[in-house]
Structure 1
Amino acid sequence: MQLNKNDFPAHIFRAYDIRGKLDVLTPAVVQAIAEALSQQYLQHRVMTVVLGYDARLTSPSYAEILQQTFKKNGLNVIELGCCSTPCLYFFAMQHGGNGVMVTASHNPKSDNGVKWMCQGDPSSPEQIQQVALSAQQHYQQQQCAIPFVDQPHQFIESYKTEYLQYLQRDIHLARPLKVVVDGLYGSAGQYAVAILQRLGCQVIALRCEANGEFPEHAPDPSTAKHLEKLCHTVREQQADLGFALDGDGDRVVMVDETGAILRADRLLCLFAKICLEQQPQREVVFDVKCSSLVIQQIKHYGGIPHMLRTGSTFLRKYIAHSKGQAVFGGEYAGHYVFNDGRGKGYDDGLYAALRAMEYLAQSPAQKFSALFVQIPERYATEDTYIRTYQHHPVEVLQDIEQQSHKIAAHLTKIDGVRLDFDDGFGIIRASNTGEYLTVRFDASSASRLNEIRQNFAYLLSEKYPEIAHDICNAQ
C-alpha cells in the first residue's frame, strides 16, 4: 500500500542518532530505517553486522524487524539480544566495527531509537541524513510490512560472559570496595552487579533488573532527583561510593561516600588526571558544555585541552582518529572515553566507574571525596531549555555573537556561542530539535554565576526581551 509522504517523521533523525516517540517511530518506519541501513552498510562493503537492544518493551520486536530486513538484503547478523550499548560496541569492534543498537538511551519509556557504527566510526550527521532520505523513499514504496509481533527480551549468557571477562582482565582493585550501583531498570545493571561481584566488591544493587516499564521515572541519571535513592543508600550502607547508569549504559553518574553527586566536569578532571599521570603532554578532549575548570585542570596535570562540539559521536570519532594523541575524552552529559592503552575507545559508563574505583583502591586516600579536594566544586546551572518565541535559533546566535564585543569575554563558536570569562563561562546553543535554545552557565561563585547570566541577558535584551527574561530565570 502506498503510504502518505507526510506520515514520515523526518524530525526523529537527529545529529547523533535516531530517536522519537513510539507513535511516530512505528514498525513501518523501523522497517524503512532497516532498509536504508542495509543499503548504507552494503555501500561500504560491510557483510556482517552485530545487533543488540535495550530493556524497552518494543526493543526486541524492533530488533527483530532490523534482523529480518538485514538478512533479506544479504547481511550476516550476529544477535546479542538484550545488552548494554557498550557491550554492543565491544562485539562490533570484533567484527569490523559494525553494529546497530535499538535504544532511546535515557529517554522515557514512550520513546525508542536506533544508533549504529560503521567500520569503527559512529554514524555522522551526514550518514544519519543519508539514512533519513533513503528510509523515506523506502517508506513511501513499502508494499509489505514485516508483521509486528511482541518479542520477549533474551539475555545471551555467552556474550555477557565474554564482555565481563574483558572488564575483569583490565581492572585490578588493590582492595575490595563497598559499592551501591543503580541500574535505573536499564539493560546495563546486570553487567554492573556481575563484574563488581567478580572483583570481590560488596555490592548493594538498586533497580538493576531490566524493566522497560521504568516504573519510577526515565532512566536518566543526570537528573538529581532520580538519584535520591542511590544517595540515601550510599549514606545508609556506609558505602565507599555509588554510581548510576543510564538506560543503555553508555553514561554514568557517580556519588561519593557522603552521598554527594559528583558533577560530570569534576569527574572528567579526575579521569584526565588518571590518564595524564601515565601519559603526560597528551590531549584531553571535552565538549563545549564543560566548565572552564576542565581547561584549567587539564593544563595543571600537564595535558593539552581540546574542546569539541557536543555529541558523544564526535568525541569518539576525534579520539579514534587522533593517532593516540588524545588519551581521554569526556562530555558534560556523562560520556567518558578512555584511549590510554586501556579501554576500547568508546563510551562505557560501567568501565569509567571501574577505573575510578581502581584509582581509589590504590590511592592513599581512603575516601572517594578526598580525590576531589583539589578539583573545586563549581556554581552552575544545568542544561536549560529556553523558548525561541518563534525566532530562528541561528539568527539569535548570530546576533549574540555580533553583540559579544560589548563585554570582556573570549568567544568560541564550535557549537553555538560560548563566552569564557576569567572565572566562568556561559553557552547558548540551538537544541537538537531546533525548537528551543539551550543555555548553561558556570562560575566560581554564586554571585559571579548570576553576573555571567546577566551578561547574556543584556546582549539579548534589546532584540529578544522574552528570551533575555527566560535566561535570567534559568536555574
Structure 2
Amino acid sequence: MSHNFDPTVLREYDIRGIIGQTLGADDARAIGRGFGTLLRREVGLDQEAPCVAVGYDGRVSSPMLEHALVEGLTASGCNVLRIGLGATPMLYYAEASRDEVQGGIQITGSHNPSNYNGFKMVFQGRPFFGADIQRLGRMGAEGDWCDGAGSTASLDILGEYVERMLEGLDGIDEAALSGLKVGWDAGNGAAGPALEALTARLPGEHHLLFTEVDGHFPNHHPDPTVEANLADLRALVAAKNLDFGVAFDGDGDRIGAIDGTGRVIWGDQLLMIYAEDALRTRPGATVIADVKASRALFDRVADLGGTPLMWKTGHSLIKSKMKETGAPLAGEMSGHVFFADSYYGFDDALYAGVRLLAASARLGKSVTELRGAIPPMLNTPEMRFQVDEARKFPAIAEVTERLTTDPGEHVESVNATDGVRVNTKDGWWLLRASNTQDVLVARAESDSEEGLERLIAQIDEQLELSGLERGESVGH
C-alpha cells in the first residue's frame, strides 16, 4: 500500500492544500503513517510506543483530517494524545510540557482561505520542515511505513495552558496592570476559547471580539498583518478608549497589534518593545529577526546592549536558529514571536499578548508611548509578484552574483542570508524567493520618500537585468 501526495502541498514549513482538490483524508492518513514511522524508527522499533499529541483548528474540514491522521499514527504503532480544538501554540505546549510526548501535529490552515487546511509538526522538540516533509512524500510513494496498533487518549489541556501563560506576568504587581484596558480580536479563529479563558484571569478591563470559532470567518479574514483586517479592532479601541489592541491569525501563532491611537505596531516594532524588556535582565543576549525586519530594529537591539542577528524568513527556520544560538527572543515581520527566556521557544501569539502587558508594566510606559518612541521609517509593504517556479531561485542567484561582483557606487553592503538584502546610503532593499509560492518578495525602507523611490528603482533595475519585472502584487 502506498500514497502519492499532490506535489503542491509538501511545502517548506508545513503541509498545506485545498480540501477536496489537493488535500483530503487519504493524505492525512499517509502523513500519520509517515510521521509515526519516522518517530518509531528514531526511538527504536523495539522500544515502547512513542506518543504524538494531535490538535486541530476551527476549520470545517479539520475534524475529518484529525480522524484520518490519528488512524495513520496508530496504524504505525504510535500512541496519540488528542487535545482537540485549539490554537496551534496549545498543541506546541502539549508537546513541550510533557516528557511522554515525543511529537506533535496541529491540523490548521493558518491564515489561508477557509477551503484550505494543512499540518504543522514538531518532532522530538524540533521543528519538522523542509527535507523532513519531502521525506514523508517519498515514504508515501514507496509505502515505506511501519505497522502497529497504537492507542488513543484525550486530554483537556486548555486550563493548564492558560495557567502557564499567566506565568508571563510573574513578579509584576497586579496594581500596575489593574488600570489597563485592552481590546482583543480572535477573528473567529482557533484562539477564541483560550482567549476567553485567559482574559477572564487577567487584571484590568478586557473587551473581546469574534471569539466564537467559525471556520467560515464571517467577520473578517484572520490575518492581522493585513491592515484592513484590523478595522474592527481599531474601531473598538477608539469607541472604548482602550490602551491598545491585540489580534490573532486563524490558528493563534501570529500576533498583530495597535496602540491606543490606532497606529499599527508591526512585527519588527513589537520585537523592539519585547527586546527592551528582555534585555534588561539578559545583557548581551542574541535577538533574532528575519531579513524583512527594519534596520531600526537591529540598531535598537544593539543600542540596548543586545546582539542582533538577521536570519532567514520562516517560523521553522527561526526556531531552529534559536536553538542553535540560545537566543531568548526572536520574531518575524509576519507576527510570529518566539520567547525562550521563561517560555518554550515556540511562536505563541496569546503568550505574546501577555508579554506585551508585562513589558508595558515593567518598562513603566504605556504601549502607545512605547510605539511612539520607535523611530519613523518609510517602507513599502511586502511586494509579492508572480514569477515562474523554475525561475524564482535562479533569478535571485543572478542578482546576488551581480551585486557581490560589481556592486556599483550606491551599494554599501550585501547580505545574502535569505535572498539579497542591499544596504545603501538611502536605506535598504530586499529581494527574495518565497519558499511556499511561485513569487518573489520585495521590500524597501528609507528615511525619505526620494530615497525610497531610488531603492525601488534599484529593485526594478535588477529584475530587468534578469528579464523580469515587478508585476501586480499577489496575496499570501
Q: Partner of 1:427: helix, strand, or coil? A: strand
CA contact (8 A) 1:379 1:442 kept: yes
In structure 2, what is the Cα distance between the partners aligned to 1:168 and 1:295? Answer: 29
In structure 1, what is the Cα distance between the partners aligned to 2:15 and 2:401? Answer: 34
Which residue pairs with 1:377 in the alignment? 376
Which residue pairs with 2:79 in the alignment? 76
Tell me the CA shift for residue 282 of structure 1.
1.2
One-letter amino acid of the structure 1 residue matched with residue 322 of structure 2: I
CA displacement 1:6-57 (0-9 Å, x = unmatched): xx31121111100111121111122222211111111212701111000111
Which residue pairs with 1:19 in the alignment? 16
Tell me the CA shift for residue 78 of structure 1.
0.6
Tell me the CA shift for residue 391 of structure 1.
6.9
Structure 2, unaligned runs of 5 or more:
44-48, 146-153
CA contact (8 A) 1:393 1:434 kept: no
Change (3 A) 1:469 1:134: closer
CA contact (8 A) 2:378 2:446 kept: yes
One-letter amino acid of the structure 2 residue matched with residue 276 of structure 1: L
Tell me the CA shift for residue 362 of structure 1.
3.9
TM-score after normalising by structure 2? 0.89
Tell me the CA shift for residue 443 of structure 1.
1.8
Tell me the CA shift for residue 434 of structure 1.
5.0
Which residue pairs with 1:242 in the alignment? 245
One-letter amino acid of the structure 2 residue matched with residue 458 of structure 1: E
CA displacement 1:191-237 (0-9 Å, x = unmatched): 12321220223121111111111123431111110110001110111
Which residue pairs with 1:401 in the alignment? 400
Tell me the CA shift for residue 402 of structure 1.
2.9
Which residue pairs with 2:142 in the alignment? 137
Q: 2:6 aligns with which of 2, 5, 9?
A: 9
Which residue pairs with 1:144 in the alignment? none
Which residue pairs with 2:28 in the alignment? 30
Map 1:2-401 to 2 at 5 A.
8-22=5-19, 23-45=21-43, 47-93=50-96, 94-95=98-99, 96-138=101-143, 158-171=156-169, 172=172, 173=174, 174-176=176-178, 177-322=180-325, 324=326, 326-340=327-341, 342-365=342-365, 367-388=366-387, 392-401=391-400
Which residue pairs with 2:452 in the alignment? 449
CA contact (8 A) 1:184 1:207 kept: yes
Tell me the CA shift for residue 179 of structure 1.
1.0
CA contact (8 A) 1:266 1:377 kept: no
Tell me the CA shift for residue 315 of structure 1.
1.1
One-letter amino acid of the structure 2 residue matched with residue 375 of structure 1: I
Change (3 A) 1:91 1:217: same
In structure 1, what is the Cα distance between the partners aligned to 2:439 and 2:394? Answer: 13
TM-score after normalising by structure 1? 0.89
CA contact (8 A) 2:273 2:359 kept: no
Q: Partner of 1:361: helix, strand, or coil? A: helix
CA displacement 1:281-303 (0-9 Å, x = unmatched): 11111111111111111111111
In structure 2, what is the Cα distance between the partners aligned to 1:321 and 1:113? Answer: 27
Map 1:388-467 to 2 at 5 A.
388=387, 392-404=391-403, 405-406=407-408, 407-464=410-467, 466-467=468-469
CA contact (8 A) 1:106 1:248 kept: yes
In structure 1, what is the Cα distance between the partners aligned to 2:184 and 2:454? Answer: 38
Change (3 A) 1:2 1:242: closer
Which residue pairs with 1:151 in the alignment? none
In structure 2, what is the Cα distance between the partners aligned to 1:339 and 1:382? Answer: 29
In structure 1, what is the Cα distance between the partners aligned to 2:164 and 2:388? Answer: 50
In structure 2, what is the Cα distance between the partners aligned to 1:55 and 1:264? Answer: 25
Q: Partner of 2:328: helix, strand, or coil? A: strand
Note the aligned Cα RMSD (angstroms). Answer: 2.3
One-letter amino acid of the structure 2 residue matched with residue 11 of structure 1: T
In structure 1, what is the Cα distance between the partners aligned to 2:432 and 2:162? Answer: 39
CA contact (8 A) 2:51 2:102 kept: no
Tell me the CA shift for residue 399 of structure 1.
2.2
In structure 2, what is the Cα distance between the partners aligned to 1:386 and 1:43? Answer: 42
One-letter amino acid of the structure 1 residue matched with residue 177 of structure 2: R
Give the paired residue count.
450
One-letter amino acid of the structure 2 residue matched with residue 321 of structure 1: E
Identity level (%):
29
Q: Partner of 1:371: helix, strand, or coil? A: helix
In structure 1, what is the Cα distance between the partners aligned to 2:200 and 2:27? Answer: 41
CA contact (8 A) 2:39 2:50 kept: yes
